Structure 1
Amino acid sequence: MTTTASPSPHSSHLSPAFPGRAPWGTASKLRAWQQAAMESYLQAQPRDFLAVATPGAGKTTFALTLASWLLHHHVVQQVTVVAPTEHLKTQWADAAARIGIRLDPEYSAGPVGRDYHGVAVTYAGIGVRPMLHRNRCEQRKTLVILDEIHHAGDSRSWGEACLEAFEPATRRLALTGTPFRSDTNPIPFVTYAEGTDGVRRSVADYTYGYGNALADGVVRPVIFLSYSGSMRWRTKAGDEVAARLGEPMTKDATSQAWRTALDPKGEWMPAVLGAADRRLDEVRRSVPDAGGLVIATDQDSARAYAKLLRGISGTAPTVVLSDDGGASNRIEEFRQSQDRWLVAVRMVSEGVDVPRLAVGVYATTISTPLFFAQAVGRFVRSRRRGETASVFLPTIPSLLGFAHELELERDHVLDKPKRGNEEEDPYGPEADLLKEAEREQDEPDGEQDQLPFEALESEAVFDRVMYDGAEFGMQAHPGSEEEQDYLGIPGLLEPDQVRMLLHKRQQRQIAHSRRKPDDEADLLELPAERRPVLSHKEMMELRRELNSLVGAYAHQSGKPHGVIHTELRRACGGPPTAEATAGQLRQRVAKVKEWATRMR
């Protein structure tokens, strides 16, 4: 038996993977890492093999090429693919068919049709009937491909079912793009080695990380655009709380400020969606079919965001609310179209292949590194040299940390040490978050309705750009020239050109803030030597005068105070009252007086 890797005999007619991109999971010319992984496998001929490759690198092409080789050389007689979702198992079957491997994605029981080389199933399906698949492995030599194998550790029952079902398999190929978990459930068929600290960590047979893929031009570099802003909400006790995203606060306050920002009735989401749509406009100048994806927390939010996007872009986005056949069809239609926006709850966060997605909005409160990496993975699939991905996110410390750590590789760790003499697992809270992130969230569970929280008001402020481990930009308001400087970065640039352009635009923003008249500039924009010297009492008097006039105008017009403050900011510009300069406060005082005079 030869040990040199060669392309599948069934895939010679397919287009190359780069610079043009073949259909998902199929390519006649293997990328360098895929060829190296094939050679590593064929040389060792292991029963178990774990391949870790960053999302978008082409794990499926590698797996199907290997499956074709094993079938062609009669090492195995059939293939079983295990995927996390119904949509993904269908996607695997479609990809396999393109290189002559026929998988039945509708298989549930009994013998497999003679026309098929195997089946595509879900982890949940294995959990229900493990003995069915064990019998299939015992009857014929089987290659089992475990896609995103970390899902086999979602629960002990799934892990045990996989062990029972596939222990007799001839070969097992495990794939993952995010090789880390926050709990300590062992992942089946993964080798663990004990380190010098006594902690057992997973050992991959081949690893191809984001940094390597970025250097090879296999994936797109990601530009993260972070938005802060002032939030106001009411607690169950009736207390009104105000805070700014990104500022130090308690865990509960951070959560409530985050949820306030994502409230579609506030100003934060419309402003960020508008910025993302303008960014998509710029990208489509160079990449005409580029699309955007909004990842929402639940169905109600997804529908509300879709309504906002329709008003912003003038076209109705595609909405995907659940993991069913209809949803798969809508995703496929979007993939084949040139439509602008897709709004989804959870199912698009992992494995779903829409290579033209280039702009994303992270509009969910899920905050685990696993989910974040999977979500960002939807935007990094490269089709041509020079493409970049842009992801908009709230200024939440945990998310900013995940963005900075994107290029780090993590291994699944067992035996996590306890702190001091604690009996409880210190990683328990993160494990709970992971379970929350990985469970289906398409149907509302009523929990949010019971939380002691009511969003009142939100506003967005462009905070910073994160790229290649560095930060750029100064705070600016939506629609400002400073924000547009970053939204208008061309859609096709080499990574070093992106960094150079970001640096130049930051310098221009700093210079512009120094030239702007003091009464037009935000307090944060002004250098220290030009900030107005006003006593605390004088500023308090200005705010009191403004609030008094707003109260009188509210009584006169019947509008709520918050609406009037928002209208004043739209008319005069600038940040919320608490952050406004003396000049900005005086402008608003004059404007509200003008409005009141007109109503007399």
Structure 2
Amino acid sequence: MLRGWQQECAQRVEQKFTYDEAHFFLQATPGSGKTFLAAEVAKRLHQNRQIDLVLCFAPSKEVCNGITATFSKHLGCSFDGGLGTLGKCLTYQAIQFLPESFWQTLSRYRVFVVFDEIHHCSTGSVQANMWGQMIMRRVQSLASYTLAMSGTPWRSDELPIALAKYTNPEGELVVDYQYGLKQAVADGVCRIPKIVLIDNQVESRSQNEGVKQFSSLQQMLKETKHPYRSVVEEPTALKHLLKLACVKLAGIRQQSLNAGGLVVASSVAHANKIAHLLASEFGQSVCVVNYQKERPHQQIESFRHNKLQWIVSVGMISEGTDIPRLQVCCHVSTVRTELYFRQVLGRILRVNQAPNQEAWLYTFAERRLIEYAQRVQDDLPESCSVVTIEPQKAALSDIALIDCEHQSAEALPPQTTETDSLLHNELTPRGSNLSFDTLSFGHFHHRVIKVFQSSGALT
């Protein structure tokens, strides 16, 4: 059954395609059901005898698997490109390796092409990636109809997105339909996110600068040479963040028995140490997925349906991966772009049938992450606004910054254990300034950003 926004958007697509306009751009918040909408559009076009085949592109194999399952179920046939199927899903990376015979076949049929997370494809510059160039040069002219979708329609390198239109001279993105997080929360489609920003009064010891004290992580990172990595890999800080997240997940699992948590790590070594901490220090069940593991997609699929408490990932579950039981997330990656932050947050927003529908993201109070958290309720950044639909401006009162209760009770003890020292040595890269510069953490404190908190925020 279609949700209200999906029904409205499908009608908009049909209307636009009826008037000989072959391309549609959809921006819909992560977790809102873009793939199901695309499958419905494909079904209608096929039933109306407007297309012969459907071709989908996505940023990863994991996302392709999800699209294949959704299209197969909704279209009532397999979707693997075999004989008798309506189409298949390929990764963007595969575009450059497709044989000439593929493009010849495409030219002989009426093809509906769906581009999931189209922001992965850049164009309009010598710096444009191969995928964007191939889409503009080969796919766009051969496809009968195209649907481009994105939950986060902008790029960190600020290059234009393939198949996107921009206003001139403002350079603002033009979309045909927008379904933002604010509306998705109001409709009960997405969970209300709560973002916990963890801070500390830090003491830095350096051979060159001696002992310095800082009132916050932000001040320490600004006034010293310590990189952000030194925070996310520091055992005491990491243990505190994980402890808060484990306590929260345990509370949620009292109502929703199979609720799970995701930790987004900065490296394979970092992920392994986090998994060790979760298991040994907090008694959690955990699995690790990364590109070095055998069959990581099978591990993700297994976690999707089992009752393990945590999955620790390095670049494998950042966008498009549908695991509705995820409700707690720890962002401890050194990647700090707004695009990545929102993609990670999107992993815990999808509503399911569980009794408890809380969504919590834990991270450190670094300057950029604070800014991103405070802008979550804005569906697009200032440089990327909707033109065809008037964007709704959220009031500042919609964000409540609230000190968490029982901070001292939840803080970790200040003493350093043997395990802490061993973990610190294992996490410190050779040649890093951490070999002679050290950080000491005092009293942890944190605040929660509750998006859409005020009563009038959803009107």
Other-structure match for 2:394: none
CA drift at 1:391: 0.9
2:5 to 33, 37, 53: 33
Written as runs of structure 1 = structure 2, the 5 A alignment for 1:265-304 is: 266-304=235-273
Contact 2:376 2:451 (C-alpha < 8 Å) held by counterparts: no
2:79 to 93, 103, 106: 103
Aligned pairs, number: 400
Name the SS of the counterpart of 2:352 in structure 1.
coil
2:149 to 175, 182, 195: 175
Moved more, 76-85 or 316-325: 316-325
CA drift at 1:316: 3.5
Are 1:139 and 2:96 matched, yes or no? no
Other-structure match for 1:463: 446
Other-structure match for 1:263: 233
CA drift at 1:116: 2.4
Are 1:47 and 2:19 matched, yes or no? no
Name the SS of the counterpart of 1:293 in structure 2.
strand
Name the SS of the counterpart of 1:98 in structure 2.
helix
In structure 2, distance between residues paired with 1:298 and 1:249: 23
Q: Sort the Cα spacing of 1:103 and 1:232 in 2 relative to 1 into closer, same or farther, 3 A.
A: farther
Contact 2:255 2:356 (C-alpha < 8 Å) held by counterparts: no
Name the SS of the counterpart of 1:275 in structure 2.
helix
In structure 1, distance between residues paired with 2:360 and 2:226: 24
In structure 1, distance between residues paired with 2:163 and 2:207: 48
2:188 to 201, 206, 217: 217
Other-structure match for 1:403: 373
In structure 2, distance between residues paired with 1:397 and 1:243: 15
Are 1:388 and 2:358 matched, yes or no? yes
Contact 1:181 1:413 (C-alpha < 8 Å) held by counterparts: no
In structure 1, distance between residues paired with 2:175 and 2:292: 30
Q: Sort the Cα spacing of 1:325 and 1:193 in 2 relative to 1 into closer, same or farther, 3 A.
A: farther
Larger relative contact order (C-alpha < 8 A, sep ≥ 6)? 2
In structure 1, distance between residues paired with 2:159 and 2:48: 36
In structure 1, distance between residues paired with 2:111 and 2:358: 40
Q: Which amino acid aligns with 2:145?
A: R
Q: Sort the Cα spacing of 1:131 and 1:146 in 2 relative to 1 into closer, same or farther, 3 A.
A: farther
Q: Describe the superposition over 1:255-300 as per-residue Cα deviations: whole angstroms up to 9, x where unpaired.
A: 62x3222115x21111211111111111111211111111001100
Q: Sort the Cα spacing of 1:248 and 1:271 in 2 relative to 1 into closer, same or farther, 3 A.
A: closer
1:186 to 140, 156, 160: 160
Structure that is richer in helix per residue: 1
Uncovered stretches (5+) of structure 1, i.e. residues with no partner: 1-28, 105-111, 415-446, 471-494, 497-600
CA drift at 1:131: 4.6
Name the SS of the counterpart of 1:229 in structure 2.
strand
Other-structure match for 1:26: none
CA drift at 1:135: 2.5
- Say which one has the larger Rg: 1
CA drift at 1:449: 4.8
Structure that is richer in strand per residue: 2
CA drift at 1:121: 0.8
Other-structure match for 2:51: 76
Uncovered stretches (5+) of structure 2, i.e. residues with no partner: 385-427
Are 1:347 and 2:316 matched, yes or no? yes
Q: Describe the superposition over 1:62-95 as per-residue Cα deviations: whole angstroms up to 9, x where unpaired.
A: 0011111112222111111101012211221122
Identity of aligned residues (%): 28
Written as runs of structure 1 = structure 2, the 5 A alignment for 1:151-550 is: 151-153=120-122, 155-167=128-140, 168-194=142-168, 198-231=169-202, 243-248=214-219, 251=222, 253=224, 256=227, 258-263=228-233, 266-322=235-291, 326-384=295-353, 387-410=357-380, 449=430, 451-454=432-435, 456-459=438-441, 461-468=444-451
In structure 2, distance between residues paired with 1:80 and 1:412: 33
TM-score, with structure 2 as normaliser: 0.80
